[in-house]
Homo-oligomer: A and B are copies of this chain.
Amino acid sequence: MLNQSSDLDRLFQALADPARRAMVERLSRGPAAVSELARPLPMSLPSVMQHLGVLEAAGLVRSEKLGRVRTCAIEPAALSLAEQWINARRIEWDQRLDRLGDYLKSLETEGDDDGSGH
């Protein structure tokens, strides 16, 4: 039905959870170890790993294990895809408002013409 439809499904689904958004918020400020991501979250490490899996499957986060530490980083291109979809809607909406504004203005001008013509 849409291009990149399943990508957007996974992206918005991944963002529909407060713990996962908190992880994305932290990683937008720079890479972090899983333990650091987990610290402020009120849940077990296995739950954090599960959320991390959803974020990785959506392409929002990548992680790499170096020795005993798994480090996570944001993938800005995925966030960009979600941003573009929402932006496109706002642009269409703004254009509609502009057209409505032009229409109302044209009615007003017609009214003025009538006034000066009589």
Q: Which residues of B contact A28 (CB under 8 A)?
A: 88-90, 92-93, 96
One of B29, B79, B96 near A96 (C-beta < 8 A): B29
Q: Could you tell me the distance between the alpha carbons of A18 and B6 in the complex, rounded to whole angstroms?
A: 8
| 0/1 string, A58-70, CB within 8 A of B gives 1 | 0000000000000
Interface size on A, residues (CB 8 A): 39
Chain multiplicity (copies): 2
Instruction: Please judge, given known A-B contacts A21-B8, A96-B30, whether A86 and B86 are in contact too, CB under 8 Å.
Output: yes
Q: Which residues of A contact B (CB under 8 A)?
A: 1-2, 5-6, 8-13, 15-19, 21-22, 24-25, 28-30, 41-42, 74, 76, 79-80, 82-83, 85-90, 92-93, 96
